[in-house]
Amino acid sequence: MTYFKHESAYVDDGCEIGEGTKIWHFCHVQKGARIGRNCVFGQNVNVAGDVVIGNGVKVQNNVSIYTGTVIEDFVFLGPSCVLTNVTNPRSEVNRHSLYERTLIRRGASIGANATIVCGMTVGRYAFVAAGAVVAKDVPDYALMVGVPGRRVGWISRHGLPLKTPDVSGVYVCPESGLRYREIEPGTLRCVDLDEEATLPETMRRGRSTTTTSSTAAARHDGPKSIVTKNFAVIGVAGYVAPRHLRAIRETGNRLVAAVDPHDSVRILDRYSYEIRYFREIERFDRHLDKLRRGPEESRIHWVSVCSPNYLHDSHIRIFSEGFTELHTEVYRRTLAGSGFSIAEARPSVEFVHSIRAARK
């Protein structure tokens, strides 16, 4: 026997288990399961029949891997995470022949207590946060948080959030230095290493966690990494200003809507493809109003106004009523004249700091 099995664990006949794999206390590997090399199964893990598991997979305590699940190489399954195989289970109705397939692709991590609804594919190196519920396919390198899980950003192969791309759209992992780029909206690829290539030996020893990396250290001085506030930007008097976009991103927030009668699309596209863009303020306002009535995670929390002047008076009035925070590069006199409370608006030099302060 080239693998290790603790005496309290059961491995049924007809299983394939690769060399160097360790199966710890109270595990049960059921008939027909195929497990690769150098995997580790913590305490109380159940691997159902016919499950396929690759090499170098780590499964923490109390995980059940059901029939229909395929786990590729180097996947990490956090403690008590849940994989499912029937969407509509009923005790009285037998659906044994209808098990749905769940695919966890190479290098993905599933956080503690997270749930993957069946039929989903979790992409390569994606990261599902602790407690998240994944009910949609997850792209490669996506960082998924919350219930329902939504992508709040990208994460590197080393598990560090990828914050701000440089001017050419390249993200650099603060730990490994590997570079990443969105090749199309919603698709990230590593520039330096093919997704299927093995990590070079020199890159295999972790040097930082998300809380010790330099970006994280900077973040903890100010804002945190995970997006929690949605922004809308108004660029009526000129164009949407890139410095606003940068400030929103650098403070870990998310831009979801923008209005500008001019052609800001190219500026916005360099930032993200996920922004709803409007040319008419009325349609923009209606959109925000719809979001305001929707769930908390899609609501606009803050509105940022680029280079305001008298053209903005009416918009500032509209938006000052509906939002807890309104950021402007304020011409104080203009705003005072518009009847808007300048105490709530902040000049651009304070823009980043004010977001940081408000997020504490």
Ligand X SMILES: CC(C)(COP(=O)(O)OP(=O)(O)OC[C@H]1O[C@@H](n2cnc3c(N)ncnc32)[C@H](O)[C@@H]1OP(=O)(O)O)[C@@H](O)C(=O)NCCC(=O)NCCS
Residue closest to 142 by CA, chosen among 124, 164, 163 = 124
3-state class of 208 per DSSP?
Answer: coil
String marking each residue 131-150 x if it binds ligand X according to CB under 6 A: x-------------xx----
- Binder of ligand X out of 193, 203, 226, 358 (CB under 6 A): 226
d(CA 126, CA 194): 15
Query: Which among 12-20, 23-31, 63-71, 125-133 is the span making contact with ligand X, rule CB under 6 A?
Result: 125-133
d(CA 114, CA 111): 6
Q: Is position 130 an interface residue for ligand X (rule: CB under 6 A)?
A: yes
What strands, in cross-sheet order, belong to the sheet with 230-234?
A: 276-278, 254-259, 230-234, 302-305, 325-328
**Whole-number minimum distance, CB 136 to ligand X, in Å?**
17
Residue 83 or 330 with smaller CB distance to ligand X? 83
Q: Is position 324 an interface residue for ligand X (rule: CB under 6 A)?
A: no
d(CA 227, CA 149): 13
Positions 280 through 309 that interact with ligand X (CB under 6 A): none
Question: Which pair of structure tokens corresponds to residue 63?
Answer: 């995980």
3-state class of 88 per DSSP?
Answer: coil
Residue 52 or 130 with smaller CB distance to ligand X? 130
**Whole-number minimum distance, CB 131 to ligand X, in Å?**
5
**Whole-number minimum distance, CB 161 to ligand X, in Å?**
5
d(CA 341, CA 359): 21
DSSP type of residue 349? G
- Binder of ligand X out of 38, 62, 67, 228 (CB under 6 A): 228
Query: Which among 42-50, 164-172, 218-226, 298-306 is the span making contact with ligand X, rule CB under 6 A?
Result: 218-226
User: DSSP assignment of 323-339, as one string?
Assistant: -SEEEE---HHHHHHHT
From residue 330, alpha-carbon distances to 229, 254, 275, 312, 345 in Å are: 21, 22, 24, 10, 7
Positions 51 through 70 that interact with ligand X (CB under 6 A): 60
Residue 30 or 225 with smaller CB distance to ligand X? 225
Query: Which among 25-33, 50-58, 123-131, 349-357 is the span making contact with ligand X, rule CB under 6 A?
Result: 123-131
316-327 as b/e, with b when 16 or more CB fall inside 10 Å?
Answer: bebbbeebebbb
Residue 226 or 342 with smaller CB distance to ligand X? 226
| Other beta carbons less than 10 A from residue 180's beta carbon | 25
How many residues touch ligand X under the rule CB under 6 A: the total is 18
Residue 89 or 148 with smaller CB distance to ligand X? 148
Residue 11 or 126 with smaller CB distance to ligand X? 126
**Whole-number minimum distance, CB 177 to ligand X, in Å?**
19
Residue 160 or 345 with smaller CB distance to ligand X? 160
What strands, in cross-sheet order, belong to the sheet with 179-184?
A: 170-172, 179-184, 187-190
Q: Is position 164 an interface residue for ligand X (rule: CB under 6 A)?
A: no
User: DSSP assignment of 137-201, as one string?
Assistant: -B-TTEEEETTTTEEEEEE-TTS-EE----TTSEEE-TTT--EEEEEETTEEEESSS-TTSPPPG
d(CA 89, CA 300): 37
- Binder of ligand X out of 78, 123, 165, 174 (CB under 6 A): 78
d(CA 224, CA 360): 9
String marking each residue 80-119 x if it binds ligand X according to CB under 6 A: -------------------------------xx-------
Residue 226 or 237 with smaller CB distance to ligand X? 226
Q: Which residues in this chain contact ligand X in the complex, by CB under 6 A? A: 60, 78-79, 111-112, 129-131, 145-146, 161, 210-211, 216, 224-226, 228
